[in-house]
Amino acid sequence: MACVEIVHELDKRLRLRLLSDADDFAQTEVALRQLPGVASVRANRACASLTLAYDGQPEVRDAILATARRTPSAAADTWRPPPAANARRVTLAAGAIAATLLLPAPLAAAITWLNIAGVLARGILAASRGKLKTDVLDALAIGVPAARQEYATASVTRFLLALAEHIEATTVQQSDELLRSLLRQGPGDVWVERHDGELARVPFMQLKGGERVVIGAGETIPVDGPVVAGDAYVDQSSVTGESLPLPHAVGDQALAGGVVTDGRLVVQAERVGEATTPGRIARYIQEALDRLAEIQTVSSVFADRRVGITLATAAVVFALTRDWRRIESVFMVDYSCAVKLGTPIAIKSAMYRAAQEGCLVKSGTAIETLAGVDTIVFDKTGTLTHNTLEVTDICPLDPGIDEERAAAMVASLGEHTSHPIARAVVGLAQQRRLAHIPHEAVNFIVGHGVEANVDGRRIRFGSRHYLEDDEHISFADARKTVRALQEQGKSLLYVAADERPIAVFALRDR
């Protein structure tokens, strides 16, 4: 356990002092930045302190202290400092180059040896443990020219190594943070229905199984569980890939991450927090981020194996030429570091770019597998669409109703709902500049359709089930038209006036 002292604490702000070495301090800083609920971390290495801003939840505070007290793994041989530390090293290395070119030789020598001391120490430590790692090669590539008083060469080499480490650390951190931001679950507060029927606003982190959670239009469902009251349309595209909102009524299963587009639900919490569907996905992704892809492990081992070959080559070159410059060249042209650094950068960069484009890659292993894929099978058509319906056909069924009149009526009633089918018709009416048709109060039947009085007639539109099965309005005369549109893979909207069908709309998602 690392020694941690709380120096100062305010609501949603915590300042800690860590008694640990520089590497452990840096690793703890990185771990704290990755905790859910932590907004920012500011490090002051001179005072060995970390100042954190978080969401104020007790669970997050406990997680911060537990993480800070946890001793980082000493087995993390491939761990590298965070980007901020590497950026400082790049700056110092660049300054050392200028110093070797402008200052007298004694000062240039002192600055060079201070600049490369860390690299030399890592190489000596690895060699003393009997490990021929790239750290040994780095130390030789820098130490040989420094020993021969070629301070500019040593400083430039140190600068290039520091720059490579900075690029790697920055790429890795950006990709991981982006992926984690996509996976952060839950709103700040949720409404819970108590036994006396009153609503109480509670923090998301304090939700417990068995509670009745109330979700209104526009809100995200925070728990997995059955619907016990209400009905609504739920957009589950972020969880299941369904391109259209699905109706939810009593008895249906609600999934965390879905968004209520219309209506209101009361959900009995069966699974909360990390136990929900998005929570399990997030945990899986987090484990994947912490797990090296096979190619990264192989490349790291391969790079370390090449160190022995390089050293043997250098020995042969020296035996044949007795030229120290040629040995320096052997060390400088070795590709071990490029293999070891380049592979994780390539993997993380690919994951980062994919996330920017809206594609969540589960792990580096998935990218490796993708290289050999020649066929992709999608289990839901919603994953291949723009999730925006467009009206493709308007088929009037009443001689007294033309396309524009039918579109104007549906749009006038449909502008009061956010259902995608209604929005598509509203968008069409706006494009055609159709006039708004006055109507009486609109009645929404979630999962079925909409109805209202227009010019003394009861206008209804919605699903076939709503109009034919519930309202007993027959569309038998339009069966041929309906079948042709369905064979084209289009969604249908049925429209009736009183007890007569007047139009069928066909819509399609690109």
Q: Contact at 8 Å (CB) between 457 and 499? A: no
Q: How far apart are CA 104 and CA 95, in angstroms?
A: 15
Would you state the torsion angle of the CA atoms of residues 176, 70, 117, 348, taken in this order, to the nearest 10 degrees? -10
Beta bridge partners of 248: 232
Q: Contact at 8 Å (CB) between 319 and 391? A: no
Sheet order of strands, 49-54 included: 3-10, 13-19, 49-54, 38-44
Eight-state DSSP code of residue 271: B
Q: How far apart are CA 59 and CA 37, in angstroms?
A: 9
Cα–Cα distances in angstroms (integers) from residue 316 to residues 27, 89, 192, 297, in the given order: 40, 34, 76, 30
Cα–Cα distances in angstroms (integers) from residue 373 to residues 366, 369, 449, in the given order: 10, 7, 43
Q: Which two tokens stand for residue 167?
A: 């690029």
Q: How far apart are CA 153 and CA 328, in angstroms?
A: 10
Of residues 379, 393, 470, 498, which has the active-site annotation? 379
Could you tell me the end-to-end alpha-carbon distance of the chain, in angstroms, rounded to an integer? 56
55 among known catalytic residues: no
Beta bridge partners of 193: 199, 212
Q: How far apart are CA 146 and CA 191, in angstroms?
A: 67
**Longest alpha-carbon distance in the chain:** 105
Say which amino acid occupies 412.
S
115: Cα within 13 Å, side-chain hemisphere: 34
HEC per residue, 283-312: HHHHHHHHCCCHHHHHHHHHHHHHHHHHHH
Interior/surface letters 9-41, b for 16+ CB within 10 angstroms, e for the rest: eeeeebbbbbebeeebbbbbbbbbbbbbbbeeb
The set of catalytic residues is 379
